[in-house]
């Protein structure tokens, strides 16, 4: 379980850091800080690391740091939603969120300071809950987490109404995670309050801890889901562009032989970039083919796009006939014609080009 948690945290943090480098805006900063804070809190809860940290700082230092990190992570997540939703009005509202955060950190620090040294690193339970410092520590930190997590859940419900399908799924998973974490924090706070009045209810603590763990797992899943779907889609798009680049080769070869000037120049000094830039090479090839067909269009006597879809062999023959007339220097009116139907995007223009290229590959007398 520990290894799985660490892997999820590392993967989520690496992805968000990459997104932050691409777009260093407030929302990206906030969500990256959230994941980093949760990852550090997770590490500090490991027995060997917490013991080392207590030795470097003071007894109870690891538990104080964990709860401060959790509070900072919740605050950063709330700032993420505020920064995404409020636009220019966000500065003052974001600044106000630091007030309860600072108050919560102060309560955690005071609670640690007034707790007897042997109990500072102890977990909440029947043996420690009656100690005022322990109760103050967990109640103060828990109330802030309840506030911040609940506010985040409310923003998620609002935000998912305008989100796309994949982001909406991630937000719903995130909302479930926050609901579980909030419920766990509420149970822990109720356990502390009841104990202060002399009624220890262990079931509240037993319910609270699993809910927080489940909430953490769901949070990582929810925050990683949109990015994971985006990466899967990007890989599929990359494979499609690489395949289409190869499939367009017969058509491109014929047009480049007739019109060498259509080949776009590669920036000097960067051949290795061009080799690995799948999308760039794909778009270059499409643009070069379109330019070649425009220059050849005065010699064309048929609608190549429609013909390639209906009669591939006839389309190949029409293109070769036009290229032969161009090579022979046959006179024409010099007017360029519409070769492609003009789709809504580049991808729709590529479909008839792929059909035409395929017809050249399957037609007799194709170029090798």
- pLDDT (tens, 9 = 90+) of the chain, 368 residues, equals 567 767 777 877 887 788 788 888 877 888 889 888 888 888 888 888 988 998 898 888 999 999 999 999 989 988 888 877 666 566 777 888 899 999 999 999 999 999 998 888 888 888 888 888 988 998 888 899 999 988 888 888 877 776 667 677 877 888 888 888 888 888 888 888 888 787 888 888 888 778 877 887 787 777 777 777 878 888 899 999 999 999 999 999 999 998 899 888 776 655 555 555 888 889 999 989 988 888 888 888 777 767 766 777 788 888 888 888 888 888 776 777 666 665 556 777 788 888 888 888 765 544 43
Check the CA dihedral 71-74-76-82 and report its sign.
negative
pLDDT for res 72: 93
pLDDT for res 366: 47
Q: Residue 19 burial by CB count (10 A; 0-12/13-18/19+): exposed, middle or buried?
A: middle
**What pTM did the predictor assign?**
0.69
Sorted by sequence, the CB contacts under 8 Å of residue 189 that are 6+ apart come out as 138, 139, 142, 143, 146
pLDDT for res 247: 92
pLDDT for res 29: 87
Query: Which letter does DSSP use for residue 252 in this model?
Result: H
What are the C-alpha distances in Å from 8 to residues 123, 221, 222, 223?
25, 8, 11, 11
pLDDT for res 275: 56
> What's the CA gap between 163 and 154, in Å, rounded?
15
pLDDT for res 273: 56
**Locate tokens 């899943």: which residue?**
221
pLDDT for res 176: 85
CA nearest 180: which of 138, 137, 217, 141? Answer: 217
Per DSSP, the three-state class of 17 is helix
Q: How many residues does the chain have?
A: 368
pLDDT for res 65: 93
């Amino acid at each position: 379980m520990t290894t799985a948690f660490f892997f999820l945290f590392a993967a989520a943090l690496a992805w968000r850091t990459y997104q932050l480098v691409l777009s260093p805006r407030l929302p990206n900063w906030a969500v990256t800080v959230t994941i980093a804070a949760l990852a550090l809190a997770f590490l500090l809860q490991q027995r060997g690391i917490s013991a080392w940290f207590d030795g470097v700082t003071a007894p109870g230092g690891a538990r104080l740091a964990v709860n401060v990190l959790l509070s900072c992570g919740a605050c950063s997540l709330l700032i993420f939603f505020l920064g995404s939703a409020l636009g220019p009005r966000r500065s003052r509202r974001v600044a106000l969120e630091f007030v309860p955060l600072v108050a919560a950190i102060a309560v955690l620090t005071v609670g640690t300071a007034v707790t007897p040294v042997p109990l500072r690193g102890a977990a909440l339970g029947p043996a420690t809950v009656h100690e005022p410092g322990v109760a103050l520590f967990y109640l103060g930190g828990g109330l802030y987490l309840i506030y911040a997590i609940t506010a985040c859940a409310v923003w998620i419900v609002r935000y998912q109404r305008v989100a796309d399908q994949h982001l909406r799924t991630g937000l719903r998973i995130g909302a479930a995670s926050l609901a579980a974490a909030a419920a766990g924090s509420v149970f822990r706070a109720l356990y502390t309050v009841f104990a202060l009045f002399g009624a220890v209810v262990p079931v509240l603590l037993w319910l609270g801890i699993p809910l927080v763990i489940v909430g953490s797992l769901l949070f990582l899943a929810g925050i990683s889901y949109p990015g994971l779907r985006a990466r899967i889609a990007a890989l599929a798009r990359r494979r499609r562009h690489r395949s289409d680049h190869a499939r367009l080769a017969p058509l491109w070869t014929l047009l480049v032989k007739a019109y060498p000037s259509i080949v776009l120049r590669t920036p000097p000094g960067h051949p290795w970039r061009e080799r690995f830039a799948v999308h760039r090479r794909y778009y270059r090839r499409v643009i070069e083919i379109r330019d070649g067909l425009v220059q050849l269009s005065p010699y064309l006597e048929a609608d190549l796009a429609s013909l390639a879809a209906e009669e591939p062999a006839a389309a190949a023959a029409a293109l070769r006939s036009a290229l032969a007339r161009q090579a022979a220097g046959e006179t024409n009116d010099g007017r360029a014609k519409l070769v492609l139907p003009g789709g809504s995007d580049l991808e729709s223009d590529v479909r008839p080009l792929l059909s035409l290229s395929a017809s050249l590959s399957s037609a007799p007398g194709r170029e090798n």
